[in-house]
Amino acid sequence: MAPRRTITGFSNPLVKFLRSLREKKHRKREQRFLAEGLRLLTDARESGIVPEMLVMAAGREPHPLLDALEEAVGAAGGEIVEMDVEILAKVTGKDNPQAVAGVFAEFDTRLAGIDRHAAPIWLVAQALRDPGNLGTMLRTGDAVGAGGLILIDDCADPFSVEAVRASMGAIFTQKLAVARWDEFITWLRQDEGQLVAASLRDSTDYRKAPYAAPCFLMVGNESQGLPHAYEDACDLRVTIPMRGRADSLNAAVAGAVLAYEALAHLATN
C-alpha cells in the first residue's frame, strides 16, 4: 500500500509546494507539473505514466478507476495525500475542484527523443501563446494519430495547468518536444520529413497539396502567423480558403483541419 498522508491545514508546506506548481518558474525549478481529474489521470495510467504523488479530496465518492490509480501509485513507490476539498481548491485554483489530482515529473522534451518515422504526421507550432490552443493541438494530435507536437521558439508552457487540462489527457499520449527554430530545422533536414506551413503567401489549396510522410504540419503565432523566413524554409505552403469576412482560422483549428486533410491524403497514396 502506498504511504498515505492527511493534510488538514492551509499552511502545510506540502500545500504550498503543490500550489507553487501553478507557476512556471516553480515548475521549472522542481521539474514537476500538476494534472487534475480522474479521467485525465486514468489516461496517464493507461499510457504507462503514473503520478509521483496522488492528491485526493477527503470524503470523495469511491470509484474503481480511483482504486486502480491508488494501486498503480503504490506499486510505483509513490505517495497518496488526502485533504479537505477546500484545501484542494487552493491547490488547483478552482472553486469546484475535481476530487483527485496528481504530481508528475516533466517529460524529456528534447528533439532527440522524437522518432519521426513513428507516425505519418506530426504537428508543429511556432510561438503559440495560448495554453488552451496548445492543449487543443495535443488533443488533435491524439485524435488523428499524430506522433506528437513540436513547439518552436517561445510558446506557452505545455506543463501549465491550463494546457494540461485543455489537452484532455493527450499530454500523456503524444510525444512532446521543445526547440528553437535553428535547432529544429537542422534536426529535420538530417533525415526524411516534409515541412508544411499554414500560410497565406504563395500557397497551394490545402485540399490539393501533395503531402508526404513523415509530414510536419506547422502553424504560427495566433496573431502574427509564421515569420516569412520560416515559411521560405518549408517544402510546401498551404492555405485554407476563407468564405466569410475572417481572414484566418484559430491556430489550433487550422492545425486540426490540415491534420485531417493530410491524413486522408496519405491514407490513399
Q: Using CA atoms, how far apart are residues 120 and 110, in angstroms rounded to an integer?
A: 20
Domain 4-105, CATH among 3.90.1150.10, 3.30.1330.30, 3.20.20.150, 3.30.70.660: 3.30.1330.30
Per-residue pLDDT of 48-106, as tens digits, reads 999 999 999 888 888 899 999 999 999 999 999 999 888 988 888 776 667 899 999 99
Per-residue pLDDT of 5-44, as tens digits, reads 898 888 899 999 999 999 999 999 999 999 999 999 999 9
The pLDDT of residue 246 is: 60
Per-residue pLDDT of 174-226, as tens digits, reads 999 999 999 999 999 999 999 999 887 777 899 999 999 999 999 999 888 89
How far apart, in Å, are the Cα atoms of 38 and each of 135, 153, 164, 251?
18, 32, 13, 29
pTM (predicted TM-score): 0.91
The pLDDT of residue 168 is: 93
Specify the CATH class of 111-267 in words. alpha beta
**How remote is the C-alpha of 74 from its chain's centroid?**
26
Other beta carbons within 10 angstroms of residue 160's beta carbon come to: 20
Q: Classify residue 224 as exposed, middle or buried by CB count within 10 Å of its CB (0-12, 13-18, 19+).
A: exposed
Domain boundaries, the chain: 4-105, 111-267
